[in-house]
Amino acid sequence: MNKILGDYINLTASDSFEFPAYVASPLEPARAAVVILQEMDQRLHGESSHASGRKERVQPERFKVAALWRAVAEKYAALGYLAIVPSTYNRGVYGADFSYRHEFNGSTRGWHLVRPVEPLPTDKVMFDVQAAIDHGRLNTSTGGVALVGYCWGGLLAWRAASTLDSVTVAVSYYGGGMTLGEDAQRQPRCPMLAHFPRDKRWMSEAGVAQFMAQQPTVQSYLYDARYGFNVVRRQAHDAQAARLSKERTLAFLNEHLMALPVYEPATVMALPLSL
């Protein structure tokens, strides 16, 4: 494992919106970047939500990146990647709580997985994802950028793979909503890996099966685990599924990123947005 450095930077989206991102980098120049798109639960340690559904007012730190996702970034940086976690909540309303507690409104329909982020202008959040991609492209020796998203971030990774520039490869962990409606019809423009749970409550098994049949170019895996199986601090965590999905993800990234040619820094800066 490599020694790493980690700190916040400010990124600017194409509409001039400025937002923070946590960046972890190895001491040696990184060949490629991983943009990590976090889940909808952005509470920090010690925060809580009322069972009544009343939203709690929280501190501004809430709109940076929670410790869980900083730790994920640092693990990727220790493997030699430039890891970037854009704060995808900064376009929201101060004090809004987008946690899992307010997620499930008594329905098993998959679209409820994205209800908590409806107050966010999701189309503009994609501008923030693009800014993180561009930062990774311009600060690595190959210009290669992977997206790895979880839950809502998994849905954003799926959308980005089909719409944004300069995505070399993308990985979605149980992307809530990606098997439904218009999202299920998207066509990724880069190699795509998807991890799905056999969780009939939050993701329809029939919907996942239909997605896998209609998306033969997507390398998809189904796990005997619950939605959220990769997050250690959740009751849904499944160690075996988390380990196997991690092995597959790292192999997928290695296959598609490490074979890229190395560019001189000046050449990387001059690359067009569409590689």
Find the mean pLDDT for residues 233-254: 94
Identify whether 176 is part of a domain: yes
**Spatial distance between the Cα atoms of 190 and 50, rounded to a whole number of angstroms:** 41
pLDDT band at 7 (very low <50, low <70, confident <90, very high): very high
From start to end of the chain, where are the E strands? Answer: 4-12, 18-26, 32-37, 82-86, 144-150, 169-173, 192-197, 219-223
- Between 84 and 264, name the one with better pLDDT: 84
Look at residue 265 in the predicted model and tell me its pLDDT: 52
**pLDDT at residue 256 tops 50:** yes
Give the model confidence (pLDDT) of 76-109 as tens digits: 999 999 999 999 988 876 555 555 443 334 444 4
Mean pLDDT of 162-179: 95
Higher pLDDT: 214 or 119? It is 214
d(CA 48, CA 56): 8
**So what's the pLDDT on residue 66?**
84
Q: What is the mean pLDDT of the chain?
A: 83
Residue 203: predicted pLDDT:
85
Q: Which long-range contacts (CB under 8 A, 24 or more apart) does 8-12 make?
A: 8/64, 8/65, 9/135, 11/86, 11/128, 11/131, 11/132, 11/135, 12/131
Are 141 and 258 within 8 A, CB to CB? no
| CATH number of the domain that residue 174 is part of | 3.40.50.1820
Specify the pTM. Answer: 0.84
- For the cut 90, the answer to whether the pLDDT of residue 211 exceeds it is yes
> What value does the mean pLDDT take over residues 124-128?
94
Cβ atoms of 82 and 139 closer than 8 Å: yes
**In this structure, what DSSP letter does residue 256 have?**
H
67 located within any domain: yes
110 is a domain residue: yes
* DSSP 8-state code for residue 107: -
Please give the biggest Cα pair distance in the chain: 56
Q: Could you tell me if residue 274 is inside a domain?
A: no
Q: Measured on CA atoms in the order 73, 82, 149, 172, is the torsion positive or negative?
A: negative
What's the rounded Cα separation, in Å, for the pair 134 and 116? 27
In a domain, 275, yes or no: no
pLDDT in tens, 39-78: 876 554 334 433 344 444 444 455 688 888 999 999 999 9
Overall domain count for the chain: 1
Q: Residue 40 belongs to what domain range?
A: 4-269
